[in-house]
Amino acid sequence: MRPLLRGIAFVLAFAGTFVLAPARADEPVDLLLVLAADVSRSVDSHKFQLQREGYAAAMVNARVIDAILSGRHGRIGVLFLEWSGFASQKVVIDWMMIDGPKSAQTFGDRLLESPRSFADRTSISGGIDAAVAQFARAPFSAGRRTIDVSGDGTNNAGRDVAQARDEAVALGITINGLAILSETPLPWNPEHTNPAGGLTKYYRDNVTGGPGSFVVEANDFTSFGQAIIKKMIAEIADGRGISALAAGKLNHPQP
């Protein structure tokens, strides 16, 4: 009986050692990137489709793929999140490793097939807070963490957007912006899409932050695709905004 008990004890000890052994480290990537897209009610169905198609096309763009493959690890981790009002944020595509044309195409296809999440007010702060929370869930590790916020209006719901930005930056996260300009202001709230000084300045002053952060302008939703390509190349290729200048017409990288 005693040998049997000793055998059982040995097996349990071994099993305990196996269970308690540290898990394999997260796979390293060059960048963790959260794409945080505005789907508030000022984004009508046509604009929404153009925005989705712009992100999908940018992900498979040859220049974007080249930027990804030129990194130390040749891969990045990407998550796509849609945001609208104070409590309206949804992960549309969870963390995916993009390491070449095939995975980029899969990402783009899934994005185009996913239904729209919301059509509420505009809480940029809520979008930032939701994006920050996703980094703790990432199955990859990276020295750089970036949130890519795109939108066509000012923060009009939830907490102060500059406070949300500052808290994210304090965690070592960089926030870049893509300001989608509106030629015609909203009839019921013209300052939402066309604030004093312009939406680009609003994003620069209140949304973007961190070393090398910048704002890209899209003159309208139709030009969104080219703007996001420039922005993604800058984000992937460099963490301090140096390549942002080379990508063309990026506004004021911050130190």
HEC states along 63-97? HHHHHHHCCCCCCEEEEEEEECCCCCEEEEEEEEE
Write down the pTM of the prediction: 0.84
Which pLDDT score is estimated for 153?
92
Decide if pLDDT at 89 tops 70. Answer: yes
Which pLDDT score is estimated for 220?
80
Q: What is the DSSP secondary structure assignment for residue 209, as one 8-state letter?
A: B
β-partners of residue 77 are 32, 97
Q: Give CA–CA dist 121/203, Å, rounded.
A: 17
β-partners of residue 98 are 76
Q: What is the pLDDT of residues 181-214, one digit of tens each?
A: 888 777 777 888 889 999 999 999 999 999 999 9
User: Which range (38-42, 56-60, 164-168, 199-203) has the least confidence?
Assistant: 38-42
Confidence label for 251 from pLDDT (cuts 50, 70 and 90): low
Confidence label for 250 from pLDDT (cuts 50, 70 and 90): low
Which pLDDT score is estimated for 111?
95
Which pLDDT score is estimated for 9?
42
For the chain, percent of residues with pLDDT exceeding 90: 63
Decide if pLDDT at 23 tops 50. Answer: no
Closest CA to 253 of 206, 75, 243, 178: 243
**What is the token pair recorded at 216?**
């890209």
CB half-sphere exposure, 200, CA atoms < 13 A: 13
Q: Structural domain boundaries of the chain?
A: 35-250
Which pLDDT score is estimated for 240?
38
Q: What is the DSSP secondary structure assignment for residue 171, as one 8-state letter?
A: T
Confidence label for 30 from pLDDT (cuts 50, 70 and 90): very high
**Contact status, residue 35 vs residue 82, Cβ threshold 8 Å:** no
Closest CA to 236 of 102, 67, 75, 79: 67
Closest CA to 28 of 176, 144, 131: 144
Q: What is the CATH code of the structural domain delimited by 35-250?
A: 3.40.50.410
Confidence label for 238 from pLDDT (cuts 50, 70 and 90): low
